[in-house]
Structure 1
Amino acid sequence: MDGYGILTLVPVLLVIVFALKTKRTLESLILGTLCTYIITDGWGFAQGWMDAFFRVATDYSHEWVFMVCGLFGSLIALVGASRGTLGFSRLLERLCKGPRSSMLLTWVMGILIFVDDYLNIMTLSTCMRQISDRKKVPREALSYIIDSTGAPVCALLPFSTWAIFFSALFFSEPGVAELGYGNALQTFYHIIPFIFYAIAAVLIVPLFISGIIPKIGRMRKAYDRVKATGQVYSSESESLNFEDDEGAEGTEGSLLDFVLPIGVLIFLAIFTGELFLAVTAAIGVCFILYLPRRRMTFSGFCDLAMHGFCNMIPTVAIIFFAFVMQEAMSDIGIAEYVIHAISPYMTASILPAVVFVAVAILNFSTGSVWGVPAIIVPIIMPLANMLGANLVLVMAAVVSGATLGSHACFYSDATVLTSSCCKMQNMDHAFSQMPYAAMAAGVSFFGYLACGFLM
């Protein structure tokens, strides 16, 4: 195919190598996007880069993400200042006798909050961070559990935003409706048992908590740090925790100040399907609940809301440039390059395994959880039809690859949000969970390979 050949992969490799070397996510993405437009536009790269920048900045769906992240920062700051988080965490702490029970409760709650991965990550980190700190659970372990019950759980349940997106994406493809499973969502029900990565990622967590799967790499170093110093986060994350005093001795927290705003948030997210509306309403509930009871003044409320919003700016900046990276990878044609490179070697039996790997690599490369499937499904599904491959397996492999990308990519929105809400450096979280994501990926690959030959 016409294009940039092997140069298509250079920006992605540059981002990964630079991030591994410097442990800096934002700077790596900026460098990667600039490199992409140098390849595509030559000396005119500045114009191409600026065009991508403003396409991202003016896109409605991107603006939605930025505003939801910022408003969640406001909500977290308000609930924390009211001591509502402390009141709720002390209630939950009765169930948490030690580190393992704290982590297990986090895992269970992560499964229960299944509507949206953003909602899952932000709500769960608000609930459990203080408890985990008091039980001396490393932040690396907490963020791993929260991230593993974000996208993976959403991918497995037919009531989530993931199910709605993927069911609509697949059902429009030739041959899918002819499977005879009914409408788009009913078809997705039949895919769920074969979304191997999401299943493996969720099930590995309790094995990790129980010690059946050992602490590996950066995670082991985190546990050694806690054992030696009692510090639950690394020295690089200290600057993110200067204001983290919600659990100070002698303070009191009202359960109502947490349960009512967060309850409204979850209720509206479930029944309206609009997270922006839900988080805005939750902030409104905080206003009505806190001011008449003098939990804070009007000026204090406004200052806290703005302060919390501003605290999310570093997170929004990384997500913004992750979106610019998506634009850059689309402009350079990485999806088409990879698909055309592997398609001559496809057979019906190995197609599901190869699709899983290809989607995972593309998602990891671009940080685009839903963008990559939207691009390659119209290419993959006709190829699967032509080869006579099992369409259910192929669709499940696409969802699994997207889930792996969301879970493991160090600049995906889910990874960045998790590290931000857990108040730790992004690369600490990304590196520490990588071995467990790799385990789930290995199980998934061999699962698709075996099913491809047997089904």
Structure 2
Amino acid sequence: MFTNSFWALLPAIIAIALALITKEVYSSLFVGILVGGLLYTNFNLTATMQHVFVDGMIGQLSDSWNVGILIFLVILGSMVMLMNRAGGSAAFGKWAVSHVKTKIGAQIATIALGCLIFIDDYFNCLTVGSVMRPLTDKHKISREKLAYLIDATAAPICIIAPISSWAAAVTGFVDGANGLTLFVRAIPYNFYAILTVVMMLTITLTKIDFGPMRKAELNAWGKGDDEKDLEKSHSSLTGAEDQPEPPVSLRGKVIHLVLPIVTLIVCCVIGMIYTGGFFEGVSFVDAFAGSDASVGLVFGSVTALIITIIFMVATRVLSFSECMNAIPEGFKSMVPAILILTFAWTLKSMTDSLGAAEYVGSLVANVADRGTFMKMIPAFVFIIGAFLAFATGTSWGTFGILIPIVAKVFGSDMNNELMIIAISACMAGAVCGDHCSPISDTTIMASAGAECKHIRHVSTQLPYAITAAIISFLSYVIAGFVQNWLICLPIGVVLMIGTIYGMKVVVSDK
């Protein structure tokens, strides 16, 4: 009765609406999960308990991919704690303040680092956050703004980087065509990702903020209506305050932050290409395309953690026992993110069991069957992809549903420019929905990386993401008829910059 219909989307809609209304993420996600279980079992209480906790939560926590991501989170939290206690983060903060003199400079440095770490979005979110927090705090940049900069350089950068875990995922969804070639050809048409970067740079360079983000930035400067918001925005993901600061070594130097981060990057790259068979003769690009990101990140992060502990002990900034004590503390710092991720994965399993993916897929197929609207397919696909990713909280799941449908509609014809645009619209829409959704794992990671209360990150980022989405939709409408990115992309960039300056006029009037 409730499967393969609009009812399948109801659990996610309820969870998202409650999270935005109540500002409570855990309870909202759980209510959505419960509704999904009730709909699936036709309101049979016993069967609902079985489906929610056994098929859903335990099933998700038994999934090898998910477990790998959780292990990576725990290890990364431990490494961040080691760098903090060794004094590396504090030393970097002092160095950065002496070299980066302006608020704009601090934001540009954050964006640059986010663009450089394009291998994986999870890795990007947590690494950029741990490195840049001391600098952005010194320049009174709100944690909400930091979370936005992290989020905007995570999935949007990964989806236009040919060598990334996202590219590897996308290339596996197209049968009968060279997935990597298709991915590269679709990059110039990925309007949401490109325009998000343009928007981020324009906002930073022109010092324009609007919506809830403007209030967060004013509060960070002590000029807002509620200066208590400054304390809240610098609290942990759960909003806990007044936590005692851990002891920090006075012997720490910048190298005690830089070396662990560089080691982590190198080890994770090696770990990912190892899982793709690079050391068995497979080419670097093919190894990345065939890598298991979850396992590769675990291999890389474990190796980096061991090297970091040896380095800290050898340089005498921390004793071995202090290193061991920092590991469970790092675990604790990641518990809120792990809890939200677990609930988000469970909610996704509820919508999957109700057939949400099949329902949305049928909508796309019905639209595609109408030849009159063929040139509008990219714009329709973008909207549907954004809605599906928003409701389910997953980009990769959206790729898996929509890309094969689009490829089937166009027959996987690599010479059909409209197919390239439509597949790019799948990817752009998925990233857009992922960017907007409070149950998205990437959004959760960005909150954790910035140590920003999750619902505050979602509410401040949403107006920015919606602005980029509207302009991207218009760009796809134009692209469907023009079918030339050299014309469409500049038009989208001009529209984006013009919109930002229009916002400046509105904000100035207020």
Gaps of 5+ in 2: 273-295, 484-510
Match of 1:409 among 425, 428, 437: 437
Partner residue, 2:456: 428
Asked whether the 8 Å contact 1:240–1:423 carries over to 2, the reply is no
Partner residue, 1:219: 213
- Change in Cα spacing, 1:241 to 1:253, as seen in structure 2 (3 Å) is farther
Match of 1:186 among 181, 192, 200: 181
Percent identity reads 28
SS at match of 1:169: coil
Q: How many equivalent pairs are there?
A: 444
Asked whether the 8 Å contact 1:95–1:101 carries over to 2, the reply is no
Q: Per-residue deviation at 1:115?
A: 1.1
Query: Aligned partners of 1:34 and 1:160: how far apart in 2?
Result: 35
Asked whether the 8 Å contact 1:99–1:135 carries over to 2, the reply is yes
- Change in Cα spacing, 1:234 to 1:357, as seen in structure 2 (3 Å) is farther
Query: Aligned partners of 1:244 and 1:454: how far apart in 2?
Result: 59
What per-residue deviation string (whole Å, max 9, x for no partner) do you get for residues 223-274 of structure 1?
22123367784537535464585999x9553122112211111112223322
Match of 1:235 among 232, 235, 256: 232
Match of 1:61 among 62, 65, 86: 65
Query: Aligned partners of 1:435 and 1:425: how far apart in 2?
Result: 17
Query: Aligned partners of 2:166 and 2:366: how far apart in 1?
Result: 31
Match of 1:93 among 86, 91, 97: 97
Matched, 1:383 2:409: yes
Partner residue, 2:482: 454
Q: Per-residue deviation at 1:324?
A: 0.9
What does 1:156-195 correspond to in 2, within 5 Å? 156-170=160-174, 172=175, 174=176, 177=177, 183-195=178-190
- Change in Cα spacing, 1:93 to 1:110, as seen in structure 2 (3 Å) is same
- Change in Cα spacing, 1:386 to 1:254, as seen in structure 2 (3 Å) is closer
Partner residue, 2:156: 152
Asked whether the 8 Å contact 1:322–1:411 carries over to 2, the reply is yes
Partner residue, 2:499: none
Q: Name the aligned partner's letter for residue 373 of structure 1.
A: F
What per-residue deviation string (whole Å, max 9, x for no partner) do you get for residues 353-400 of structure 1?
111111111111011221222133333322344998821011101111
Query: Aligned partners of 1:36 and 1:234: how far apart in 2?
Result: 36
Query: Aligned partners of 1:247 and 1:440: how far apart in 2?
Result: 43
- Change in Cα spacing, 1:130 to 1:12, as seen in structure 2 (3 Å) is same
What TM-score, normalized to structure 1? 0.91
Partner residue, 1:34: 34
Q: Per-residue deviation at 1:405?
A: 2.5
Matched, 1:289 2:311: yes
Matched, 1:357 2:344: no
Matched, 1:348 2:395: no
Query: Aligned partners of 2:196 and 2:166: how far apart in 1?
Result: 16
Query: Aligned partners of 1:375 and 1:328: how far apart in 2?
Result: 17
What does 1:392-407 correspond to in 2, within 5 Å? 392-407=420-435
What per-residue deviation string (whole Å, max 9, x for no partner) do you get for residues 201-229 of structure 1?
111111111236x3112111112212336
Match of 1:323 among 345, 362, 370: 345
Matched, 1:368 2:394: yes
Q: Per-residue deviation at 1:83?
A: 0.6
Query: Aligned partners of 1:147 and 1:60: how far apart in 2?
Result: 25
Q: Runs in 1 of length 4+ with deviation above 4 angstroms?
A: 229-232, 239-248, 386-389
Asked whether the 8 Å contact 2:222–2:230 carries over to 1, the reply is no
Q: Name the aligned partner's letter for residue 5 of structure 2.
A: G
- Change in Cα spacing, 1:56 to 1:302, as seen in structure 2 (3 Å) is same
Asked whether the 8 Å contact 1:71–1:279 carries over to 2, the reply is yes
Q: Per-residue deviation at 1:342?
A: 5.0
Matched, 1:80 2:84: yes
Match of 1:205 among 197, 200, 207: 200
Asked whether the 8 Å contact 1:384–1:394 carries over to 2, the reply is no
Query: Aligned partners of 1:232 and 1:14: how far apart in 2?
Result: 27
Asked whether the 8 Å contact 1:86–1:247 carries over to 2, the reply is no
Q: Name the aligned partner's letter for residue 189 of structure 2.
A: F
Matched, 1:46 2:49: yes
